[in-house]
Amino acid sequence: MRIAYFTSAYPRATDTFIQREVLHLRHQGHDVLTYALRKPGIDHNVSNLVKSERENTHYLLPANPLALIGLNIRWLFTQPGKYFNALNLALRTSRAGLKGWLFQLFYFQEALLLAQSLLINKISHLHNHFGDSSGTVSMLAGKLSDIPYSVTIHGPHIFFEPQEWALREKVKHSAFIVCISHYCKSQVMLFSDQADWHKLKIVHCGVDISEYVFAPKANPGEDKPVNMLYVGRLAGEKGVPILLQSLVELKNQGLQFHLTLYGDGADRKLLEQLVSSHGLNVYVTFAGFADQQTIRNALTNSDLFILPSFAEGVPVSLMESMAIGVPVIGTYVGGVVELITPEYSGLVVSPSDIDGLSTAIKKYINDAEFRSRVSQNARKKIEQDFNLQIELTKLETLFTDGTAHD
């Protein structure tokens, strides 16, 4: 089967879950072509896999204006019905105002480029991992080409603006929609027609268990600092300022610790300023983007993983930590509690709760038996419910099962 994966920018350092899917499908004998509108910055070239994917991805932009005009004329005269149906869909699903209408026209042009290439390359199915702008392009390309498409909905961003991103229409015109959790599925149900709920399929993100050796760490001891780890974008919804404020409380209590932040984003400068203003410079390191092996090495050397988010799907970073035996702290948002059972396979605190986060960190530090028990249970949870091979088999079945294309 020939499958196309499409996103706005690919491959990015944070797209490991997409890269894993693509590799698995190729190993299973499927011909998978990757498409993107544009290349990400070279700072995303964190591994040989990313570099290889970059070299083999079809980029639609920049496009030759004259060639694009010719493409419109060709579709208009050879496939007028499909052309106007897709254009009508684009305009009906636009955001309010002139700017929203203009953006839909841009998406329509991008969809023409994508549809043309999909047909030339004889693609059987188009899949997308984001429901926003690239999801719109996928929907329009599917309408133009009659090639079935699907979207994996992660959240949380699309649930902030479901009407603006025409989630109802994307579900309606899709072959199926992949939801990464029951919480995610419930949110898509809120913003889609009940007649289309049968299209909503739960496939978890997951980790390759064979790549994560379970090696829980012993108590770091009073004379050694507790090594804490955060992996993710440095963006507002991740709640990193709350984590930093909780560390101030721990510092004032005389605890020895060090936090390493892997990732980058728009809020990095602000967070660096917060670290300085809170007197945490010797306690916190900003490590930037890193490849998967570097992250695994960091996990092996960490005593605790913390993700203090205000909004999440089901974070793969938590799965990786749980698989390797690092105790985790998450927040009561999104599908996190479908991954972490509080007090059983990890600790969960309310988002924005500085004192609660400090208390959770101290509980792990002070209770070695609890930490050991939680680590064992967490590994079992990943093996049973977030095993990459099992989840990707579910996804592959959706791609190959003709009944999914109703």
Residues 130-162 have pLDDT tens digits of 999 999 999 999 999 999 999 999 988 899 999
Is the distance from CB of 127 to CB of 3 less than 8 angstroms?
yes
CA distance linking residue 400 with residue 32, whole number of Å: 13
Buried/exposed 238-261: b ≥16 CB within 10 Å, e otherwise: bbbbbbbbbbbbbbeeebebbbbb
Residues of the chain with CATH 3.40.50.2000: 2-206+388-404, 209-385
State the pLDDT at residue 201: 97
222 falls in which pLDDT band (50, 70, 90)? low
Q: Strands across the sheet with 328-331, in order?
A: 284-288, 257-262, 226-231, 304-306, 328-331, 347-349
Instruction: Please name the amino acid found at residue 58.
Output: H
> What is the rounded CA–CA span in Å between residue 284 and residue 268?
13
pLDDT class for 219, splitting at 50, 70, 90? low
Say whether pLDDT at 403 is over 50. no
In this structure, the number of other CB atoms found within 10 A of the CB of residue 293 comes to 11
pLDDT at 291: 85
**pLDDT (tens digit, 9 = 90+) per residue, 63-91?**
999 999 999 999 999 999 999 999 999 99
Q: Are residues 13 and 289 in contact, defined by beta-carbon separation less than 8 angstroms? A: yes
Residues 358-368: tens digit of each pLDDT: 999 999 999 99
Residue type, 171: V
Phi, psi (rounded to 5 degrees) for 322: -65, -35
Query: Quick one: which of 26, 33, 170 has its CA closest to 93?
Result: 170
* Per-residue pLDDT at 405: 41
CA 162 – CA 246 distance, rounded (Å): 33
- Mean pLDDT along residues 36-45: 90
What's the pLDDT band for 404 if we cut at 50, 70, 90? Answer: very low
3-state SS, 115-161, equals HHHHHHCCCCEEEECCCCHHHHHHHHHHHHHCCCEEEEECCCHHHHC
The yes-or-no verdict on residue 221 having pLDDT over 70 is no
Q: Helix or strand or coil: residue 183?
A: helix
What is the number of alpha carbons within 13 Å of residue 252 lying toward its C-beta?
8
Q: Which 3 state secondary structure label does DSSP give 310?
A: coil
Residue 406 has pLDDT above 60, yes or no: no
Rounded to two decimals, the pTM is: 0.88
CATH architecture assignment, domain 209-385? 3-Layer(aba) Sandwich (3.40)
CATH of the domain spanning 2-206+388-404, picked from 3.40.50.2000, 3.10.20.30, 2.30.33.40, 3.40.50.11240 = 3.40.50.2000
- C-beta of residue 361 within 8 angstroms of C-beta of residue 307: no
pLDDT in tens, 326-374: 999 999 999 999 999 999 999 999 999 999 999 999 999 999 999 999 9
The pLDDT of 165-187, averaged and rounded, is 97
Reported as type and span, the H/E element at residue 256 is: none
- pLDDT of 103-137, one tens digit each? 999 999 999 999 999 999 999 999 999 999 999 99
- The per-residue pLDDT of the chain, averaged, comes to 93
Report the 3 state secondary structure along 192-232: CCHHHHHHEEECCCCECHHHCCCCCCCCCCCCCCEEEEEEC
Q: What is the DSSP-derived secondary structure letter of residue 42?
A: G
* pLDDT 10s digits, 372-392: 999 999 999 999 999 999 999
Q: Are strands 31-38 and 58-59 parallel, antiparallel or unpaired?
A: parallel
Residue 225: pLDDT above 50?
yes
Residue labelled with tokens 């496009």: 63
Task: Provide CB contacts within 8 A for 200, sequence distance 6+.
Answer: 171, 176, 177, 179, 185, 188, 189, 192
So what's the pLDDT on residue 402? 52
Range 21-25 average pLDDT = 91
Q: How does pLDDT run across 232-291, given as a tens digit for each residue? A: 999 999 999 999 999 999 999 999 999 999 999 999 999 999 999 999 999 999 999 988
Residue carrying structure tokens 């999440």: 312
- Give the span between the Cα atoms of 260 and 246, in whole angstroms: 15
